């Protein structure tokens, strides 16, 4: 009962409250923007040479407003929005009509999950292991060399680093494609030629995320290990004759990993919103690219759908870590 009252129930209440506030903000923010999707659609129709009589235009505006779920007051739209949300229906996309938001996100999500899950795992595993060893053996030449490389890579703006990879590997040596998730005309199938084609296109985006993310994880872990290594319990273990391998793995790196677990939860949660800059630079057909197109086109439903996935993903990941954290750190109790 103590676990339920003092630990689980307060965190579940906080979890629901954060999701509600986040989704409410997502609903309100697009509606205070100056762009109007209905008038934007009318503008597109006129740009294509369509001539509309005043009476017909009023009917079209009324039909579009009803179709996009923008009729009535904001409160009416808000209640209708939650009604659709509980049914798992995010409505239709404004500028990809009649495609539904669920289908658009469903088509883009596998690209983002495949890319970001892989790079997150590689960054976390190798960054923490190599950074932990470099922090403990900080005076070794190889540790200093890796630290110098990380110090050069980490401050680079991501878009500059990504463009540099495109110039070198896409234009100069031409080893990898510079845009897209697969070759034009390639049909999705569980065959080695198609899988190889997808991996070939994902190499540069994955490399850019892994190198920059790995540099951050490496330096963070290195500093954490150096701080833990200076603690009195580590010095006592050394004086007591504990083997160095046990000190590194059981005493130093294990304690330094605790803050990194929280960072991993945030990284996994943010996968659902996509790597926005990565997918824009490389023209990768993931959720980030979809979000960018929805923002510039004021596609309310699509913006809300993608952002809601991100809110739920991040808050769920944090909740899971919060509930399981005592398993990693015995000093933290449920009560």
Q: Is the pLDDT of residue 10 over 70?
A: yes
Sole residue written with tokens 């070759």: 183
Q: What is the pLDDT of residue 284?
A: 83
Q: Is the pLDDT of residue 334 over 60?
A: no
Q: What is the pLDDT of residue 107?
A: 86
Query: Stretch 120-126: mean pLDDT, rounded?
Result: 87
**Percentage of the chain lying above the pLDDT 70 cut:** 79
Q: What is the pLDDT of residue 42?
A: 66
Q: Is the pLDDT of residue 263 over 80?
A: no
Q: What is the pLDDT of residue 333?
A: 61
Q: What is the pLDDT of residue 314?
A: 80
Q: Is the pLDDT of residue 66 over 80?
A: no
Q: Is the pLDDT of residue 267 over 60?
A: yes
Window from 29-38, 135-144, 199-208, 309-318 with minimum mean pLDDT? 29-38
Query: Is residue 191 a contact partner of residue 126, using CB atoms and an 8 Å limit?
Result: no
Mind listing the pLDDT tens digit for each residue in 18-65? 888 888 887 777 677 666 666 666 666 666 655 656 566 666 667 666
Q: What is the pLDDT of residue 37?
A: 65
CA distance 130 to 149: 13
Q: Is the pLDDT of residue 153 over 80?
A: yes
Q: What is the pLDDT of residue 231?
A: 78
Band (pLDDT 50/70/90 cuts) for residue 304 is: confident
Q: Which residue has the higher pLDDT, 190 or 140?
A: 140
Beta bridge partners of 100: 92
Q: Which residue has the higher pLDDT, 265 or 317?
A: 317
Q: What is the pLDDT of residue 48?
A: 61
Mind listing the pLDDT tens digit for each residue in 73-100? 778 778 877 887 888 777 777 777 677 8
The CATH architecture assigned to 108-328 reads: Orthogonal Bundle (1.10)
Q: DSSP characters for 55-109?
A: HHHHHHHHHHHHHTT--S-HHHHHHHHHHHHHTT---B-SSSTT-BHHHHHHHHH
The pair of structure tokens assigned to 203 is 């190499």
Mind listing the pLDDT tens digit for each residue in 154-169? 887 877 888 888 888 8
Mind listing the pLDDT tens digit for each residue in 212-231? 888 888 888 888 888 888 77
Q: What is the pLDDT of residue 68?
A: 62
**Nearest to 281, CA basis, from 167, 197, 126:** 167
Question: Residues 257-272, buried b or exposed e (16+ Cβ, 10 A)?
Answer: beebeebbbebbbbbb
pLDDT, mean over the chain: 78
Query: Stretch 189-212: mean pLDDT, rounded?
Result: 83
Q: What is the pLDDT of residue 311?
A: 84
Domain ranges within the chain, ordered by starting residue: 108-328
Q: What is the pLDDT of residue 41?
A: 65
Beta bridge partners of 92: 100
Q: What is the pLDDT of residue 47?
A: 64
Q: Which residue has the higher pLDDT, 39 or 236?
A: 236
**CA dihedral sign, ordered 260, 262, 265, 269:** negative
């Amino acid at each position: 009962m103590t676990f339920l009252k003092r630990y689980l129930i307060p965190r579940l209440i906080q979890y629901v409250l954060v999701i509600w506030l986040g989704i409410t903000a997502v609903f309100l923010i697009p509606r205070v923007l100056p762009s109007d999707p209905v008038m934007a659609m009318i503008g597109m129709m006129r740009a294509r040479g369509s001539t509309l009589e005043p009476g017909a235009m009023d009917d079209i505006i009324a039909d579009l407003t009803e179709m996009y779920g923008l009729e009535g007051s904001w409160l009416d739209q808000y209640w209708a929005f939650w009604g659709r949300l509980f049914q798992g229906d995010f409505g239709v996309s404004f500028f990809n009509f009649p495609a539904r938001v669920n289908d658009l996100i469903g088509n883009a999500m596998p690209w983002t999950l495949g890319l970001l899950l892989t790079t997150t795992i590689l960054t976390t595993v190798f960054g923490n292991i190599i950074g932990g060893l470099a922090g403990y053996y900080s005076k070794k030449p190889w540790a200093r060399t890796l630290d110098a490389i990380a110090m050069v890579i980490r401050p680079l703006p991501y878009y500059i680093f990504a463009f540099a990879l495109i110039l070198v590997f896409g234009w100069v040596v031409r080893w990898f494609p510079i845009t897209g998730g697969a070759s034009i005309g390639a049909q999705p199938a569980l065959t080695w030629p198609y899988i190889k084609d997808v991996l070939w296109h994902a190499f540069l985006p994955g490399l850019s995320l892994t190198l920059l993310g790995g540099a951050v994880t490496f330096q963070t872990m290195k500093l954490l290990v150096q701080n833990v290594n200076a603690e009195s319990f580590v010095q006592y273990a050394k004086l007591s004759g504990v083997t160095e391998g046990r000190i590194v793995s059981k005493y130093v790196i294990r304690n330094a990993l605790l803050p990194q677990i929280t960072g991993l939860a945030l990284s996994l949660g943010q996968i659902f919103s996509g790597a926005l800059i990565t997918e824009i630079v490389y023209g990768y057909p993931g959720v980030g690219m979809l979000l960018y197109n929805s923002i510039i086109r004021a596609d309310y439903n699509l913006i809300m759908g993608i952002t809601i996935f991100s809110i739920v993903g991040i808050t769920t990941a944090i909740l899971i870590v919060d509930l399981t954290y005592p398993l990693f750190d015995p000093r933290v109790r449920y009560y």
